[in-house]
Chain A
Amino acid sequence: MTALVVRLRFRMWWTAMTRSSLHLVSSVVGIIAALAVVGLLGPALGLLGLRPPRVAALTVPIFTTATLMWVVLGLAAAGVDNVLDPARFAVLPLRARTLARGLLAAALTGVPALLLTLLAVAQCFSWAGTPRAVPAAVLGGVIGVLTAVLASRAVTTLLAGVMTSHAGRLVGASIVSLATLLPLALNLVAARGRRVDALFDLDARPVARAASWFPSGWGWALPLDVAEGRWSTAVVHLVLGVGLLVVLWTVWVRQLERMLTSPLTSSGGQRIGRGRILPVLLGSTPTGIVAARRVRAWYRDSRLVAIALRTAVLPVFFVLQAVITGSPGLAGTGVVTLAVFAGLTLMNDLAFDGEAWWLHVTTGLRGWEDRLGRAIASTLVFAPSVALTFAVSVWIGVIGEPLPWLAVVLASFLGALALAVGVGAYLPGTAPRTGGNPFAATSGGAAQGCLTALISFIGPVLLIAPVVVAAVLTRGHTAWGWAVVVFGGLYGLGLLVAGVVVGGRRLDARAPELLVQLGRAQF
C-alpha cells in the first residue's frame, strides 16, 4: 500500500509535467532551486564541524526555525500540491492508518522533504568536531525531519476541516496570510539587534538553548545536549521529541479517519445583501459592473481576501522598520513596493475568474471594458491603502521629501496596473481553484511561469524609471516637485491607457483561445 501511494504520486507528477510546460518549468526550477540551497547551505553546515560546539550550536536555532517555517509554508502549498488529497481515497476500502503510512512516505519522497533530509545529513557533519554528538545528531535529524513533515500534514488536515465553510475559509486565510509575514517580523526584531559579523567569536549556545525548548527544536537540540554532556536534558528532549511525533501521528490519523468517512464538504449557503453602494458608485455600464464585481470579489472570495490582507499589512512592517532603523529611504521604498504589488495583483485576475470568463466572451463584452473595469476595481481596493500608508509615513516624518516620493508612488501604482492589465491579457497566469484552499493564494505566483515573474520584476522598474530620474533631479525644488508629481500622474495614466488598449485588443482577438487557457488556469 505504501509503495503504491508513492508510485501514484510520482505517476501523477509525471503526467502533470508531460501535459503542461508550465508544470515542467516550475518543477525544474523548483529542483534547481532546491539543489542550489543544498549546494550552498550543505557545505556551510558541514564546515561548522571544524568549529567548536559553541559555533556548531547554530544548527539548533537554524533547524528549529526551518521546521517551524516548514509547517507554515506547508499550509501555503497545501492547495497547490493536493495531488494526494486524502478525500480522494474516500471511496476505497482503506484504513486511515494504512493511508497515513502511504501519504507520509509520499511526502517524504517529495522534493521539499528530500531537501530537508539532505540538510539534516549536513547537520550531522556540523557536529563532527565532537564525535560523541554525531549519533545524537543523526537521531535528532530523524526526529526533526519527521516532526516537520508530520506537523505540516497534521496541521494542514486539521485546518482543512475548518476550511469547508465560507467563514472558516476567510478566518483561515487571514491567519495564514499573516503567518507568512512571520519572517518579516523576525527580520524586524533582528534589525534592532547587533550585527552578526563576528562568527568566530560567536557563542550560539544561549540562543540554541532557548530554541531547544521550542517544540520544533526538541529533536534538533539532541547533539548540543550530548556535546555539552547534559545527559538529563538530552533524555528530556528525546522523550518530548518522540512524544510530539506520537501526538502528531495520532492527530493526523484521527483527521484522516474523519476525512475518509465524511469527504463531502457542507456548503454554507452563503447569503448576501443586495449591495446598494457599488451600483451607485460605479454605474451600470459594462465597465462599471465589471469593476463592481471585482470589488465584491476582494471581500467575498477567500482566495483574494488572503492576498488583500497581506498587501494591507505589508507596508506596516516597512514603516515600522523605517522608524526603528531610522534609514530615510526605507519608508518611501516601502510605499513604492506596496504600490507596485497592489498594481500587480491584477496580473492573474483572469485566472481567478477561470472558465467563468465565458460569460464575458458570450455577451460580447469588449476587451477594453474588461481591462478598464478590473483596473478601476483594483484602484478602489488598493489606492486608499497606498494613500494612507504614504500619508502616515509623511506625517510621522519617515518620508522626508514627500513630493518626489509622491510622484514615484503615483507612477508606480498606475504603471504596475498598466503592466498587469496589458500582460495579464497575454499571460493569464494561474490561481487556486474557486472555493478551494485559500492558503494557496498566499503563495501568490509560485507556480506561475518564469516569464510572468520576470516581467513583474523588471517591468515596473523600467516603466517608472523616467519618473524616478525626474524626481531625483528636482529634489529640493518645491515648484519643480509639484511639476514632477503632475508628470508622474499623467505619465502613469498614459501607461494605464496603453495597457488597457493593448490588453483589450488582445482579449478581442484571442478570446476563445484564452478561454481554453483559463479552463486550465485553476488547480
Chain B
Amino acid sequence: MTESAPPAIELSGLVKEFRGRRVVHELSLAVPRGSLFGLVGPNGAGKTTTLSMATGLLRPTAGTARVLGIDVWADPAAAKAVMGVSPDGMRLFEQLSGRELLRYVGALRRMPAEDVAARSEELLAVLDLAGDANTVVADYSAGMVKKISLAAALIHAPRLLVLDEPFEAVDPVSGQAIRTILRRYVATGGTVVMSSHVMELVEGLCDRVAVVAGGRVLAVDTVTALTAGGSLHERFLELVGAGQLVADDGLGWLGAAEQPR
C-alpha cells in the first residue's frame, strides 16, 4: 500500500532451534500494512513458533523480527506497545474474572482506568461475555477463553493484531462477531496476522496468505492469486504434498462391515 512505511511485520532469516533440532529454517516474511494476513500450515509447521518469535514471547536462535519498523528483540517494550497478541493454548490468569482480566491487562499497559473500564464493558458486550464477566476465567469454556484473550489483545487499540488460531472452539455467532471486528479493524488501517488450519475460514476472511510447512514458507500471495486454479484447500494440499496420506487401500480394516460381533 504505502511505499515508504515499513511493513507491519517483517521477518528476515528467522531460525529457531530446540535442543539442536531446527524447527524454523531461516524464515523470511513481510506482512504489508492494512492487510488481513493468514498464516496456514499443517500441525507442527512452526506457525506458533514463528508468531511467538515475532511477538517477543520466544527468542529466535538467529534472524530479526520487526513490527511496524521496530526491532522486536532490540527494543521489546516498544514493539509490544504497538501490538496486541492472543497466543493459542497459553493459559490466562485463571483466578481473575473476565472483567478483572481486562482491567488487569489495561492497567499493565498503563491505560487510564476510565478508558479501560469503558472499553472492557464494550468488548464484553460485543463478544457476548457480559453475562459471565464476573465468572473466573478458570471456569470459562475453551471458546470463552479464546474470546476473552482476544478482548485482552484489543483493549489498548493496537495497530497490529497477532492472533494464533482465533476461531478455534468459538461458536458460529461469536465467530461472526469476531470476523466483523477484524474486518472493521483492517478497514480502519489496522493489520491482522492470524494463523489457522481451517482453509475455508482463511479463504473467506483474509486477503493475503502464507503457507508454512516444516518451518519454511512455501508460498506467499494474495488469496485471489493463490486460489486462481481452485480452492485454497486444494492449493494447500498440493503445496504441502499431503494429498495421498490415506491411500485408497489404507486402513481397509476400518469399516462397519467388518466389525467383529
Mark A residues whose CB is within 8 Å of B: 267-275, 284-286, 288-290, 293, 296-297, 300-301, 353-356, 358-366, 434-435, 511-513, 515-516
CB pair A363–B109 under 8 Å, yes or no, is yes
Interchain residue pairs with CB less than 8 A apart (29): A267-B138, A269-B135, A269-B139, A270-B138, A271-B135, A272-B97, A272-B136, A275-B100, A285-B107, A286-B110, A289-B104, A289-B107, A290-B108, A293-B93, A356-B90, A358-B87, A359-B105, A360-B108, A361-B57, A362-B55, A362-B57, A363-B108, A364-B77, A364-B81, A364-B108, A434-B138, A435-B94, A435-B138, A516-B58
In the complex, what distance in Å separates the CA atom of A364 from the CA atom of B108? 8
The A-contacting residues of B in range 74-118, CB under 8 angstroms, are 76-77, 80-81, 85, 87, 90-97, 99-100, 103-105, 107-110, 113
- Residue with the highest number of chain A CB atoms closer than 10 Å, among B58, B92, B136: B136
- Given A272, A356, A365, which contacts B92 in the complex, CB threshold below 8 Å? A356
Chain B residues with CB under 8 Å of A353's CB are: 93
| Inter-chain contact A364/B90, CB cutoff 8 Å | no
Instruction: With both chains docked as a complex, state the minimum distance between the C-beta of A368 and any C-beta of chain B, in angstroms.
Output: 13
Which residue of B59, B85, B139 is within 8 Å of A513 (Cβ)? B59
B180 at the A/B interface (Cβ < 8 Å)?
A: no
Q: Are B108 and A359 in contact (CB under 8 A)?
A: yes
Residues on A with beta carbons closer than 8 Å to the beta carbon of B97: 271-272
Shortest CB distance A519–B (Å): 8
Chain A residues positioned under 8 Å from B77 (CB to CB): 364, 366
Name the residue among A285, A301, A359 with the largest chain B CB count within 10 angstroms.
Answer: A359
Q: Which has the most chain B C-beta neighbours within 10 Å: A272, A363, A434?
A: A363
* Assembled-state Cα–Cα distance A360/B105 (Å): 8
Question: Is the CB of B152 closer than 8 A to any CB of chain A?
Answer: yes
* B6 contacts chain A at the CB level, 8 A cutoff: no
Q: In whole angstroms, what is the CA distance A434 to B140 when docked?
A: 14
CB–CB A270/B136 < 8 A: yes
Q: Which residue of B lies closest to A268 (CB)?
A: B139
B90: chain A residues at CB < 8 Å are: 355-356, 358
Contacts of A361 in B (CB 8 A): 56-57, 80
User: B138: nearest residue on chain A (CB-CB)?
Assistant: A435
A366 to B104, CA, bound (A): 15
**Across the interface, which residues of B come within 8 angstroms of A358, CB to CB?**
57, 87, 90
**CA distance in complex: A360, B57 (Å):** 10
- Which interface class (under 10, 10 to 19, 20 to 34, 35 or more) fits B? 35 or more
User: B87 contacts which chain A residues (CB < 8 A)?
Assistant: 358
Query: Distance in Å from the Cβ of B99 to the closest Cβ of chain A?
Result: 8
Chain A facing B: main interface SS = helix
Give 6 closest A-B pairs by Cβ, nearest first. A363-B108, A364-B80, A364-B77, A512-B59, A289-B107, A356-B91
| Residue B134 at the chain A interface, CB threshold 8 Å | yes
Query: Whole-angstrom distance between the alpha carbons of A285 and B107 in the complex?
Result: 7
Q: Are B80 and A362 in contact (CB under 8 A)?
A: yes
Min CB gap B106→A, angstroms: 9
Contact, CB under 8 Å: B105 / A363: yes
- Cβ-defined partner of B56 (8 Å) among A273, A284, A293, A362: A362
Docked pose: A435 CA to B103 CA in angstroms? 22
Q: B135 to chain A: which residues have CB within 8 Å?
A: 269-272
B85 contacts across to A, CB distance below 8 A: 362
Q: What's the Cα separation between A290 and B103 when bound, in Å? A: 11
Closest to B99 in A: A274
Nearest chain B residue, comparing its CB with the CB of A510: B59
Given contacts A289-B104, A293-B96, A359-B152, 18 further A-B pairs with CB under 8 A are: A268-B139, A271-B135, A284-B107, A285-B107, A286-B107, A288-B107, A290-B108, A293-B93, A353-B93, A356-B92, A359-B92, A362-B56, A362-B85, A364-B76, A434-B91, A512-B59, A513-B59, A516-B58
* Contact status A356-B107, CB under 8 Å: no
Closest B-chain residue to A522, C-beta based?
Answer: B91
Residues of the A chain whose Cβ atoms lie less than 8 Å from the Cβ of B109: 363-364
The CB with the most chain B CB atoms within 10 A, among A268, A296, A301, A358, is that of A358
Asked if A355 meets B91 with Cβ closer than 8 Å, knowing A364-B80, A515-B57, the reply is yes
A353 to B59, CA, bound (A): 20
**Contact between B134 and A512 (Cβ–Cβ < 8 Å)?**
no
B45 to chain A, nearest CB (A): 20
A512 in contact with B58 given A362-B85, A434-B138 (CB within 8 Å): yes
Once bound together, how far apart are the Cα atoms of A104 and B231, in whole Å?
55
User: CA of A323 to CA of B92 in the docked complex: distance in angstroms?
Assistant: 47
Chain A neighbourhood of B138, CB < 8 A? 267, 270, 434-435
Docked CA distance A44–B141 (Å): 56
Smallest CB–CB gap between A308 and chain B, Å? 14
- A-chain residues with CB within 8 Å of residue B104 when the two chains form the complex: 289, 293, 359
Which B residues touch A285, using CB under 8 A? 107
Instruction: Give the complex CA separation of A234 and B208 in angstroms.
Output: 83
Least CB distance, A297 to chain B, in whole angstroms = 5
In the assembly, what is the distance between CA of A275 and CA of B104, in Å? 13
A434 touches B139 (CB 8 A): no
